[in-house]
Structure 1
Amino acid sequence: MYMRETLRQLHYNVRTNPNINILAKCGRQKLEVLTLSHNTITGVEPSYQKFPFLRSLSLSYVSISASDLSLLLTACPKVEVLTLVSLDIVMSDPQATMDFSSNSLKDIYVEAISLDKFILEADSLEKLHLKDCTVEVFELVGKGMLRFLKIDDVSVIHLDIGESSENLEVVDVSNFTIMWAKFHHMISRSSKLKKLRLWGVVFDDEDEVVDIETISSCFPLLGNLSLSYDLREAAVQYGLHGSFVLENVICFRKVTTSQEVGHPWGCFRDQNP
């Protein structure tokens, strides 16, 4: 398999028998974009398989060990965009743990991955999108550069983005079970938050109170607020007093009571020009 030295992008989606070691074939080339699908990656050697110019790496339906994935990122010192979809993570110990770091990573998308523990160290990360994942513990270690956080249909017991919430501008959470007090505390330092969307979420605590006025005052730049949630015997406070910059508020809720009385569905919508 021959590759030109001038090759900048490679999209490889081929099953071969025996498996072709693409990393060995294109290492040390001037690749800037590498997309691998339905492939197996083993024995990564950062000292030999280097990708000094790579800025975008996508792995879909790839079999790779957690240690090899960490080594692969080490071999890509300039990678900014990382996409991981339906990886077959090969583990060397009973606990499925993935721990890797990157100083250059700005955007990560993770879909359909199941792990016990996922630790990501990325000081420059600006965008984090988790979709259809099952993770007991997810921890992000960064320096507060995160601006976009999206969580879609994710099962997680412990979610921690640490000091990375200070510059958040967009938080989009859907199909997710939330302990509101913990979640609010996690994003409460996001003074630059402009859009908050909690859609199809379930509040785990029956005593949770969702106070839109508190949300508005906590995030002074918030202009778009969308809520769709399921509560059990819970209270919702809609009152808005004072001056806020909210331009669009959409709220749908379902309150399930022990006797299922009254009208369980409520809708609140407010748009200011």
Structure 2
Amino acid sequence: MLQFYSIVCRVATILKTRYTAPGFWNTGLGLFLEAEHLVSEPSERKHLQSCIAEAQEQLRYVQNEFEGVGSGRNSTSGGFLFDGHLTVDPEPPEPDWLVQSGLMTAIATLSAGGSSQTENLDTSESNTNLIQELLQRLDNVVPMILDNDPVAPRVPPASKEVVAKLPVTTITEEILTKLGPDAECAICKENLVVSDKMQELPCKHTFHPPCLKPWLDDHNSCPICRHELQTDDHAYESWKEREKEAEEERKGAANAVRGGEYMYV
């Protein structure tokens, strides 16, 4: 159930960031409504209710916009609709990443049927076939939804502007005494001496500037702790923001069921 809730949270994020078509939001609304009945933890239910409200608001906005456009057309065209004509464009097909809703419905129906000895066998067989079909479809789309197997973009080098602004300090007797006699540059492994120039990263690790530059020309992180610096790649920075948001959602879902007190089968 935790995995299902995580997927629903990810679907909500994808809807908000990538889709505006009413067909997607209408299907998403159905998923949120069904998921609300399946969760038992109050924080999960509250989050799903906010997703439901946002989906309803989006659909109302699209409907009002469509009605405004439609009234404008009717006032200028003066045409007629004949039998068989469509008054609106057909909705886009149900996105594959939302078939989880249908899967959960089928599982719930099949589980209810399994508890009755008199359940019609044809219905059970039909539900089983539906679940198998949906699982086959999910095999193709779940890797795009689950964050435990993301396709990360290639990490670009650190921003040249950020690197240029990194502070440089000069090693003094006082600093060297505080660091100890074995203090060294982690890249070249040379022991530090008085008057050495050291460039400091935001994580407070320091390196010789000539040693650090080639590294930051190819990487965006500290050679020791991997703390990341900002890059000039907008696509990569946007991906990091999305991953950060998804990680917060995963932590919230994990905290909601920590210890298993709210989990059920």
If the length of structure 1 is used for normalisation, what is the TM-score? 0.17
Bigger Cα Rg? 2
If the length of structure 2 is used for normalisation, what is the TM-score? 0.18
Between 1 and 2, higher relative CO (CA 8 Å, sep ≥ 6) is seen in 2
Higher helix fraction (1 or 2): 2
Higher strand fraction (1 or 2): 1
